[in-house]
Amino acid sequence: MYITSFNSGAEPKLDIIPGAVEFALPFSTLDDAFKVNDKLTKLESENFGKAKPIRVVVVGLSYLGVELVATLSVRLKGRGVVQDISVDSLILPTTPPRDKEAALRFHRKWIVCVELQHLRFCV
């Protein structure tokens, strides 16, 4: 499952990456959050009792993206792999250092894969 996170007020631009329109879920509104929850619930049901982990990729490492990764990691608890992707070179690039450090500690604790300065060309 691919999720693109956007800052408040940002418009999702799914058409710039081939496959994103068909497979990615935008995440910027409450309605988007319900859709992500429904998709994740469906994946959890389909994979119940199977050894294959659920794979979730979150594109965008603003506060919203980092919070989404945290929520997904806690919910999946080892039943899935959560990956962050960002074109920036840092998590939370415009925030105070203590916020970045807290996010990195969480990522290490929950073994979240982080790809920085990365642009995905297809989904």
CA-angle at 50, arms to 60 and 44, nearest 5° = 45
Residue pair 36/6 in contact (Cβ under 8 Å)? The answer is no
Per-residue pLDDT tens digits for 89-110: 777 778 888 888 888 887 777 6
Residue 80 has pLDDT above 90, yes or no: no
Q: What is the pLDDT of residues 7-16, one digit of tens each?
A: 445 666 677 6
Query: What pLDDT, on a 0 to 100 scale, did the predictor assign at position 123?
Result: 41
Grouping H, G, I as helix, E, B as strand and the rest as coil, residue 20 is helix
In this prediction, residues 50-63 reach a mean pLDDT of 81
pTM value?
0.73
| Class level of CATH domain 2-115 | alpha beta
Where residue 47 falls among pLDDT bands split at 50, 70, 90?
confident
